[in-house]
Every structure is written in structure tokens, then in C-alpha cells.
Structure 1
Amino acid sequence: MELTMTAAPVRLSWWRRWPDWAPWAATVWALGYGLTALGWTLTGAGYPIDPADPNSELSLLGDVPADVGAPLFAAVALAGAGTGAVMARYRPGARVPRWWRRFAVGFGGSLALVLLIVVPTTRMLALVGYLPMIVVLGPFDAGLRADVASALGVDHVHQLVALIGGFLWAAATVAYARRTAGSCARCGRPDRAASVAVVRRWGRPAVYVAAAIPALYAATRWLWVAGVPIGMSERELDELAADGALLAAAWLGSFALVGTVLTLGLVQRWGEVCPRWMPGLGGRRVPVGLAVVPASVVAVLVTSGGLGLIKGGLSEGLIGAEDWAAVGPALLWPLWGVALGWGTLAYWLRRRGRCTDCGLR
């Protein structure tokens, strides 16, 4: 009995101890990525970004050739490994030169931003958007499975690795910044009350913006499914119907509406406590991470994907009055991502409760 009671807290504390392991995980990630990129540089093979790919127009890094990108990625990642090791070895109370703290926090934050926003492309966003359709129809549609298998490639793996590294570096940088400022590494307290008040005050408007944009996107797609050629000619709509693309539009529109509803949960009571009608869950508190983690991932992907679509639309001349329903909602996706990120932060600040590390509330 004693062994059981002492083992359970150890398992439960793994996630709560993220300020301890995140800097080391970010360092290992950077070292592995840096060595891999060094291999691309020395061998001339394996570079995951192909400027000749037609989809490179939708990538913020699509125009970076291998002879430039590979050594640049290697240098930045290996520098990150060295910086991360110093950050991970810091112990509370140790004196840190002001210039080094500014450099480490700035470097870590910039690296996280690049990995989360610049490296991912619309392909990752599309994969997430089509995921419900793949899960539901994939087991019964061999053609769909074949299309998915052929579409997945090394670029998806590279972007997934970048996303993992981005979140690790964001966590590592936040932990280091808090510790070197004398704050609680886990919750950041004591907070600046004015900053927290601003985030929470604008949290509800941000959530409404983040819910309205996917709803607008869903409305255009479902109007197409209903046969209304909004934002396109009737001939183009007929071509979409003939190609079976309207089925995908229906799935994406439905998924966007689900996202709208879930986003509203960030400011609704049922986003904190499960409704009574839910079997087995009614009346139970919604775990904070269950809302914060998916919302954070979506905020990153729609920001990155939206910027990529804007880049591609401008370079290919696709942004025009006649195509507003097809590409217009995508122009708002960066705003969607920022608003969703803001609303998610406000939700977390409202629900975080008393910190088990520092005891502050």
C-alpha cells in the first residue's frame, strides 16, 4: 500500500515538473536538429524544403534553397543547443549578467517563434483540417487512404519536428525567464497585476473574434455545398462538384463550425464544468490542459497557415474581388490565430488557481 501511494505522485508530477525538463529537452532537440542539418549541408541530400515544389509558394521558407537553408539551420540549431545547455544548468539564486539574460530570452523566444510560425506550412493546417474526414471515411475508402499516403512526405515530418521543437523552446524560454527574474517557474507569480488585468479584460472580445472567423469560413463552404456560387462563377462551382471537392468543403466547413463552438467554450460555463447531460462527465471540471493545449496548437497552425496563404495569394495573383470567398477568409487567419492565442491565455489565467509550487493564488 505504501509503494502505491508514493508512486502515484511521481507519475502525476511528471507534467507539472515541465520547468525542470523542458530546457534539457529543448537542448537535446536543438542538438539533434543541428546535427541533422549539418548532414544536409555536408552531403547535399535530405534537405526537406524544395523550392521547385508548386506548394512552396505557400511556404514562408519555400524560396530558401538548400545551399543557404541547410547551413543556416545547422548554425542556428547548434547555437541553440549551446544556449539551451546554459539555460538548463541555471540554478535559482545564481547571478546572471543582464546582457546574457536578454540574449538567452531573446534567442529562445525568436527560435520558438520561427519554429512555430515560419517553418510550418499550410500542409500541416490542411492535414489537421482533413483529419476528421480521414478518420471517419478512411477505413471504408481505399482511394482516400491512397491519396493520404501519397500526400504525406518528409516535409510533414520536418514540420511536425519543428512544431515539437517550437513548443519545447517556448517552454524552456519561459521557465528560464521566470527563474532568472525570481518568479515561480511554473506559474510566473508574482504577476504584474496590470498585465494580467489587460489580458483578462480583452479575453472575451478576443474569443468572439476567434469564433467568428472560422464561422465565416464555414458559411462560404456550406453555401457552395448548397449550390450557391458565392465568390466564384457557376462554372467553377460545377467543376468543384464534378471533382468531388464539395465533399471536402463540407467536411472543412463542419470542422470549422465545431472549432467555433469549442472556441466559445473559453468564455462559457460549460468550458469549465461539463454539462449535466454528458454521461459520466456531467458536473466534473474540465481539465485546463484539455482546452489550452488544443487551442494553442490550432492558434499556431492557423497563424502560420494564414501567413503562407497570404504569401501564395500575393505571389500568384489569387487575391482579387472575384475570388473573395475562396481566399478571403484565409486573409483573416493570422488574426484568428492571434485572437485565439489571446483568448486561450486569458482562459488559463482565469482557471489556473493556486500554484502547488509557490502557493500563490
Structure 2
Amino acid sequence: MRRIWRLWPWWVGYAAGGFAALVVVLGVAGGEAFGWVGAVGGALGLAGLALRRGWVVWAGVVVLAFSTFGLLQDLVTVLGLGRPDNWPAFLTKAARVVTMLLLMGSALVVRRRAHGVCGRCGYEHADGGPVPLGFPEASTASRRVRWVAYAGAASFLPYAGAKVVFGLENRAVLAEHGGLMAELAVFGVDLTALLAALGIFLLVAMTRPWSQVWPRWVPGLAGRRVPRWLPLVPAWLGATLGPYGLLGVGYLLVFGTDALPGYVAQAGIVGFTGVGLAFAVVAWDYQRRTRPRCLTADGAAVPAR
């Protein structure tokens, strides 16, 4: 299995093409608006792969991103209730997300190979085989990125606090939903308040070295490398909150605060905008700082241009 993952630049294009074709078929067959958007994105991805044009593949990724609107809310529903509101719609949306990830990997490989560097790590080296990867030493984010993380966390605090109050005031209502949501309601805890607190912790943690190497206070894992996907997956999911917040800001500018009553909704607009944009910046910086390189036999490696 490890060897298969090491060979991802050789199979990611085929996998992306297969999923893109599936998304096109499902989008056309479904007939709903987001499905058609996903079909257009999948078609662009297929065209970019066929033409070996990375920018066309990225255009498909951007269009597909709009077709996954509401995914984070669906995941919260699955976590809280154990099921989504609509299984076919959820699985179709999940297929679009997988297609996006595969197309992003394919675009990266196309770009790197066009520059004559390794499609896997982006460095110039003699050995093109599936060799092990070497990871950089744990580092702290720059001061600018740290302040972005702090600002995003601060903007999300009012929403987290509002959801704590909401959970305490609506125990009976939350308990009627069942699942994890009902179990937390016994203690007056709203699931989204807990997730907001975890999001704030993750946002700040990704700027510190112990988000790359498990710290001493984690039993059994202290000193080991943290898998890159572990913080990056929730961080990029958190970044999808940004568009929600920006749409909410536009809504308030057009209709005013009277059109959106309630302290939770208003705090959510500010929090989603701030934390979503902060997650995008921090996740990109973390991805760049933790980028591995192939451990070649001769040790030669030159960064990609």
C-alpha cells in the first residue's frame, strides 16, 4: 500500500479522469443546479487532462468548488446525527470533492513535469523512482501568518460563545435530534460550539512546531511526525466557511441587520468570514513549510522553479 501511494504521480491522472467522468454523468442525470455546475467542472477537468493544460484543470477545480456548497454543514449533520439529510445528495457532493482533490494533484504533476522536475516532490533529482520521502524539520510560521491565525481565532470567539449560550438555552430541543447531538445536549453543549473550539485550537496550533511533531504531552506519540493530512484536511474544510461569511456580509449590506435577527447568525457571519480566510492562509503556509522531498541515492535536489 505504501508503494502505491509513493507512485501517486503515475496514477492520479487516470483516477481524476474517471471521477471527473462520473461527476459529469451524475450531474447531467440529476438535473439539479449544483449538479450541472459540477458537470461543467468535471468536463473542464477532463479537457485539461486530455490537453495537458494545467490551467484548464485548475479552472475545473474552481468550478467544482462551487458545486460542493454546504458540504461542511452536511459533515456536521453526519457527525451529530449519524446520517445526512439526503444520502444520494451527500454522496454525490463527496464524489465532487474527491474529483477536486484528484484534479489538483493532476494539475500539480502536469506543471512540475512541464518544468522538468519530479512530479512527486517538485525537486530536480536523478532518481525518478518511488523512493522514501524526507520531511523538513518542524518550524514556526512567520509572524505575519501567526497574526492572521490570531485574528481569525479572535473573530470566531463570539460565534463559539454564542453557540455555548444557545446550547444552554435549548437543551430540550437539541436532545430531540438524537445521536451525538443529543448526548452533548445533556450537558448543555451544542455540537457546533465544540467544533468551533476545536477549530480555534487547530488554527493556532498549525502555526507552531508541535503541529508537525507530536509534543511530549501526547502519550505514545511524543516525538513522532504528525501526518500532514491530519491538520490539513480539517483546515481546508474550515476554509470553506469563508464563502459563507462573505455571502452573509453581502446579504447584510443589501438588506441590513434587521433581515438577519439573532445573535448567533450575526456572530456567525463575522466568525465564518474571519476564520475561513485565516484557515486558507494558514493551511497554505503549513502545506508549503512541511513539503517533503524525495530521498534520492545521490542526495542531489534542487527546488522547482
Please give the TM-score of this superposition, normalised by the length of structure 1: 0.64
CA contact (8 A) 2:41 2:63 kept: no
Q: What SS does structure 2 have at the residue aligned with 1:267? A: coil
Q: Which residue of 1 aligns with 2:288?
A: 349
Task: Give the Cα–Cα distance (whole angstroms) in 2 for the partners of residues 73 and 321 of structure 1.
Answer: 30
- Unaligned 5+ residue runs, structure 1? 1-10, 41-45, 50-60, 62-68, 88-103, 139-147, 191-198, 228-239
Q: Work out the percentage of aligned pairs sharing the same amino acid.
A: 24
Counterparts of 1:1-361 in structure 2, within 5 Å, are 11-38=1-28, 40=29, 46-49=30-33, 61=34, 70=36, 74=39, 77-87=42-52, 104-116=53-65, 118-122=66-70, 124-134=71-81, 148=83, 151-189=85-123, 200=142, 202-227=144-169, 240=170, 243-244=173-174, 247=185, 250-299=190-239, 301-306=240-245, 320=259, 322-356=261-295, 359-360=301-302
Q: What SS does structure 2 have at the residue aligned with 1:202? A: helix
Task: Give the Cα–Cα distance (whole angstroms) in 1 for the partners of residues 148 and 278 of structure 2.
Answer: 5
Q: Which residue of 1 aligns with 2:130?
A: none
Paired letter, 2:229: G
CA contact (8 A) 2:41 2:61 kept: no
Q: What SS does structure 1 have at the residue aligned with 2:219? A: coil
Residues 1:26 and 1:313: Cα distance change in structure 2 (over 3 Å)? farther
Task: Give the Cα–Cα distance (whole angstroms) in 1 for the partners of residues 210 and 120 of structure 2.
Answer: 26
Task: Give the Cα–Cα distance (whole angstroms) in 1 for the partners of residues 277 and 88 of structure 2.
Answer: 28
CA shift digits 1:84-128 (9 cap, x unpaired): 1343xxxxxxxxxxxxxxxx2322112111212x11222x22232
Task: Give the Cα–Cα distance (whole angstroms) in 1 for the partners of residues 212 and 40 of structure 2.
Answer: 44
CA contact (8 A) 1:48 1:154 kept: no
Aligned residues: 274
Paired letter, 1:181: H
Task: Give the Cα–Cα distance (whole angstroms) in 1 for the partners of residues 152 and 218 of structure 2.
Answer: 26
Cα offset, 1:253, TM superposition? 0.4
Task: Give the Cα–Cα distance (whole angstroms) in 1 for the partners of residues 160 and 174 of structure 2.
Answer: 18
- Unaligned 5+ residue runs, structure 2? 125-140, 176-180
RMSD, aligned CA: 3.4
CA contact (8 A) 2:48 2:54 kept: no
Residues 1:130 and 1:349: Cα distance change in structure 2 (over 3 Å)? same
Paired letter, 1:127: D
Bigger share in helix: 1
